[in-house]
Structure 1
Amino acid sequence: MSRRREPVPFAFIAEADRFRSNVAPPPPERPSFREVAGRWLLGLTIVAALVGSLVVGTPALSPDHSVKTQQSQASQGR
């Protein structure tokens, strides 16, 4: 492994920590009405999709009583 022979100037790193600019960055642009409306619409779409999947998936998670009644009726008929 080769070592660097030239000295590394660390003074610029310490100097950069102390440096403060007197030029303020420009303020961020305010989002337009269309951008805000688009974000709300996207959020509403995501929430509606989650609620819809919960509504559609809930019956699949509930115990199915109709299978037991059909089996018990078939066994009583024999």
Structure 2
Amino acid sequence: MFRRREPVPFAFVAESDRFRGNVTPPPHERASAGQIAGRSLLGLTLVAGLVGSLILGMPALSTGHSSTSTQQSQASQGH
């Protein structure tokens, strides 16, 4: 099999990875103090929410040994 060297339409698309333009992108603007404060406040709020949900959810995740033992003792007294 051999390749044909005929020009194909839209050949520039295949060569686009080799093309380097002379236009440089604009520099990134520095964030203002208000933007930095807002981002940090948002991050702290998210972290505080996760920690708070973990603290409030810990009693639900713990196994209640004391409550099961009292239920068993009341059930054995009833029989």
TM-score by length of 1: 0.68
Cα deviation 1:8-45 (Å, max 9, x = unaligned)? 51322244333322231110111111111111111111
Match for 1:52: what amino acid? G
Identity %: 69
Which residue is equivalent to 1:18?
18
Q: Following the alignment from structure 2 to structure 1, what is the Cα–Cα distance between the partners of residues 19 and 75?
A: 87
5+ residue gaps, structure 1, are 1-6
Alignment of 1:23-34 (within 5 A): 23-34=23-34
Question: Aligned pair count?
Answer: 71
Task: Go from structure 1 to structure 2 and tell me whether the alpha carbon gap of 1:69 and 1:21 turns closer, same or farther (over 3 Å shift).
Answer: same
Task: Go from structure 1 to structure 2 and tell me whether the alpha carbon gap of 1:15 and 1:63 turns closer, same or farther (over 3 Å shift).
Answer: closer
Note the aligned Cα RMSD (angstroms).
2.4
Secondary structure of the residue aligned to 1:56 is: helix
Task: Go from structure 1 to structure 2 and tell me whether the alpha carbon gap of 1:14 and 1:66 turns closer, same or farther (over 3 Å shift).
Answer: closer
5+ residue gaps, structure 2, are 1-6
Secondary structure of the residue aligned to 2:16 is: helix
Match for 2:45: what amino acid? T
